[in-house]
Amino acid sequence: MSSEIRQSGTPTHPHEAKLVRSLNLLDVIMIGIAAMIGGAIFVLTGPAIGLAGSSVILAFIINAIITLFTAMGYAELGSAMPEAGGGYLWVREGLPRPNAFISGWMAWLAHIVAGSLYSVGFGSFFVSLLHMTNILTINSLFGVIPLDKLVAVIAIGLFTIVNIKGTSETGKIGTAVTIVQLVAIIAVIIAGLLAMTHNPNWKYNFADFMPMGIGGLVSAMGLTFIAFEGYEIIVQSGEEVKNPKRNIPRAIFISLALVVIMYCLVAFVSIGAIFPKGGPAWQFIGHNGDLGIMKAAEIFMPYGGFIVLAGGIVSTLAALNATTFSSARVAFAMGRHYNLPHKLSEIHSKFKTPYVSVILSSVIMAIMAYALPLDSIAQASAVIFLLLFTQVNISVITIRKMYGDKLEYGFKTPFFPIVPIIGIILKISLAVYLLFTAPFSWVITVLWIMVGFTIYRIFTFRKEVEHYSPIVTSEGNMVRKDFRILIPYTPDNPDRLIRYAIRVAKEKNGEINILRTITVPDQTPLSAGIAFIDSARKTFAPLEKILNEEDIVYHYFVKISHDATEAVLSTIAEQKVGLLIIDYEIIKNNKKLQTLLTCDYLAILPHSDFNIITEKQNLDESEITKGNKKNMVVLYDDGDNSDEILKVTKWFANTERFNLNVVSINRKANGNHENVLDKSTLTSTNKNNSEHIKRREHFLESSEVELNEIYISEEIEKDSLQFAKIILKSIVAYNPDIVITESTIGKYNLFTNSSFANLLMYRINCPIIIVKDFSLPLVNTVTHMLKKINGHVGISYLLNAIQNKTK
């Protein structure tokens, strides 16, 4: 057994039942095609033509290019981590809590809503077909139950049975239905092309290619882009696909290419094969709205309306089968990870399918199809999918960063990380577009997320922690403080980090939480760790003595877990920790912990035993003379962590004990570096603010702070060896007793760039505090830029803050 934090590898679930791999490449391609075509190819294409005219073809192509940036991320992670859950699973691995639950919660709703829409679409098509053939003339049963709604519920029930009976049966029926769907579409395309060859004037229908301008093109894109996102359903089958490393990427790209071609060809022949009186072809189709393609088909092919209607029926059935399958897999994966009741992860003993998840998802789907206004809810599903795709694109970056070559990829996204970043920007842009064009969709989305977050905090999170990393014993004070510090217990030197935590706790009137994790092998049940509880509790005694002497509120937790990193992450969320203090060597080698932390942290590289907690009131006059003071050096680069280093410096900078020295890095266009040490010649980073300059110069003259500004050229910064040497020389010139630095210096990260860290960190013979604050991806950078514009970031701001501290 071990109590140290270790680097996690590829996630495994040794005690979980697995689904059966029974789907081949053709099955998965058909699932993707069914999901992407649905009934949309006959229903949405008409209104889209009305918005954009002939340029709807261009709208389809641009949408395909936009979605390709995200599809590549799905292909990469689908090949490397082929488990049920798809996007939810990857967000769980790549983003901190509660992103996983929220993504799964959103995806579950979106898949169910999509299935409800397809069922209602099938009901409408089917009843229309009965009316067209005069088989049936009524619209309701007993004058109360709408016939299309009843047919929708019956269809959901039938596909529920199919999905319970087995994945192989689901795949076979889905493949058969999708083939019939393709036959109908191909028949329309061939008939349209034949009609065009018999009329040489068809080219004139495309003479005004963009009649509604760019605005119409963008509107058509907004209406149809969600139709190309069926790869989310493909990856839900990851745990049931044969050879997923090869087949999932192929299925994604093949199905996407075929669907785009079919959408373009249906639009092409529908416009080019008809010559209506009274206006252009695109206008005729647009005026008929949802029935536009059917009306066009009636003109250029025998029984065209009937074939389109039959194709719509089959298309919605294929899509209903796919979404019944996918919604159940999301619920199954969430149940497996205790984000929903664990009962949902139960697999049928005979059919080897997640039957509980299938039944629950189908029941909700049927209720929505019969009772709710789906048109309004459907708009929210588009926003939900966009938010999910944004999370997945971020996860592509973080998972590649965490696991690197430990994962076996069947496909890797090219031009990494540019492609997923573009995907993030595009998806957010489309979501913002929907905020203005369909604001009610955002209202529903936000409400659903709020409901999910409430469930997560009240029920789900507690169950998840109880399963993966339960607290088996705890000790400490009864009172709690608002500001909470966490220290993972280190057996080799348990009191090394405690002194830093005590200093911060005194400055912030906070409490210290110490976590001891008993880790057991993945194949061993957690109960095996109970035997080590007493010995773990006894190791706290020396720390308890130190904390009582310093009069600090403390708590001591012992957890059992298969993964010590997960224990730390869950404790931070469970105890609402605001600051983690951890050994630099531990966190430097733990990319998962770096990526998934949800609090600020200080990484300590303790080159020597240094008592940081000595209070100024304990010093006599001889100890606070300048000659006996210790030297504190702050390395400041005005980067993303500039706000955090400001706070940390204020916590530790006791100017009656320290000579405080600030080494600030500035950039210049070219030339060699230079140091500016003369206080009287220092210039402000905001040269136009004369009052700011006067205040800064007055502070420097009246305080014990010495500022060394290093001006670095771009050429020097590119050379990591030269850059590190210059910084090192400036720091050691002060003979430092402690150094505080940002986690990123220039373009070099002290946690991930080992060569630069080795050049700099291990040549300073004193404790080093590396500062890193928590923020959502990109948010901290944008916030920092705004503060810099407003003059709230920069070396002058740091010095003024320290001045306030000394007062």
What lies within 8 Å, CB to CB, of 463 at 6+ separation is 338, 342
- Buried b / exposed e across 696-724, counting CB within 10 Å, b at 16+? bbebbeeebbbbbbbbbeeebbeebeebb
Predicted confidence at residue 791, as pLDDT, reads: 47
Q: Beta strand pairing status for 748-749 and 744-745?
A: antiparallel
How many Å apart are CA 120 and CA 113, to the nearest integer? 11
Residues 344, 335: Cα–Cα separation, whole Å: 5
Distance in angstroms between the alpha carbons of the first and the last residue of the chain: 51
Confidence at residue 266, expressed as pLDDT on a 0 to 100 scale: 94
More confident residue, 668 or 312: 312
Give the separation between CA 537 and CA 556, rounded to whole angstroms.
9
Q: Give the tens place of pLDDT for each residue, 112-164.
A: 988 888 888 888 888 877 877 777 677 777 767 888 889 999 999 999 998 89
Across all residues in the chain, what is the average pLDDT?
A: 83
Q: Which of 128, 131, 151 is nearest to 141 (CA)?
A: 151
pLDDT at 236: 85
Q: Does pLDDT of 484 surpass 90? A: yes
Report the alpha-carbon distance of residue 355 to residue 649 in Å, rounded.
Answer: 57
Is the predicted pLDDT of residue 9 greater than 50, yes or no?
A: no
DSSP 3-state percent helix, strand, coil across the chain (nearest 5)? 60, 10, 25
Strand order of the β-sheet with 600-605 is: 471-476, 553-561, 511-519, 484-488, 579-583, 600-605, 768-772, 738-742, 630-636, 658-668, 705-713, 674-676
Contact 731, 635 (CB under 8 A): yes
pLDDT of residue 501: 93
As a whole number of angstroms, the distance between CA 61 and CA 260 comes to 7
Distance (Å, whole) CA 86 – CA 251:
14
pLDDT in tens, 518-550: 999 988 888 888 888 888 888 888 888 889 999
**Could you tell me which of 33, 225, 44, 224 has the C-alpha nearest to residue 121?**
44
Tell me what the mean pLDDT of segment 689-710 comes to. Answer: 57
Joined together, the tokens standing for residue 178 give: 């999708």
What is the reported pLDDT for 777?
53
Poorest-pLDDT segment among 75-84, 139-148, 179-188: 139-148
Give the tokens for residue 408. Answer: 């076996």
pLDDT of residue 226: 73
pLDDT in tens, 597-644: 999 999 998 876 666 655 444 445 455 454 577 888 999 887 777 778
2, pLDDT greater than 60: no
From the number of C-beta atoms within 10 Å of its C-beta (0-12, 13-18, 19+), residue 766 rates as: buried
Torsion angle of the four alpha carbons 532, 537, 543, 548, in this order, in degrees rounded to the nearest 10: 170
Contact 111, 233 (CB under 8 A): yes
- DSSP-H helix ranges across 575-711: 584-588, 591-596, 642-652, 690-702
Can you tell me the distance from the alpha carbon of 663 to that of 37, in angstroms, rounded to the nearest whole number? 61
What is the pTM for the complete model shown? 0.82
Q: Which residue has the higher pLDDT, 316 or 359?
A: 359
Whether the CB-CB separation of 636 and 645 falls below 8 Å is answered with yes
Q: Please check the confidence at residue 552 and state whether its pLDDT lies above 90.
A: yes
pLDDT higher at 492 or 203? 203
Distance, CA of 89 to CA of 83 (rounded, Å): 8
Q: Which of 485-489, 490-494, 681-685 has the highest mean pLDDT?
A: 485-489
Map residue 555 onto helix, strand or coil: strand
State the pLDDT at residue 693.
Answer: 46
pLDDT > 70? residue 804: no
Percent of the chain with pLDDT over 70: 85
CA 351 – CA 353 distance, rounded (Å):
6
Higher-confidence position of 681 and 5: 5
- DSSP letter (8 states) at residue 550: T
Q: Which residue has the higher pLDDT, 609 or 188?
A: 188
Distance CA 602, CA 742 (A): 10
Number of H helices, E strands in the chain: 32, 16
Task: Report the alpha-carbon distance of residue 228 to residue 85 in Å, rounded.
Answer: 19
For the chain, the residue count is 807
What are 584-599's pLDDT values in tens digits?
999 998 989 998 999 9
In angstroms, what is the C-alpha Rg of the chain? 32
Extended strands (E) in 617-724: 630-636, 658-668, 674-676, 705-713
| Better-predicted residue by pLDDT, 231 or 698 | 231
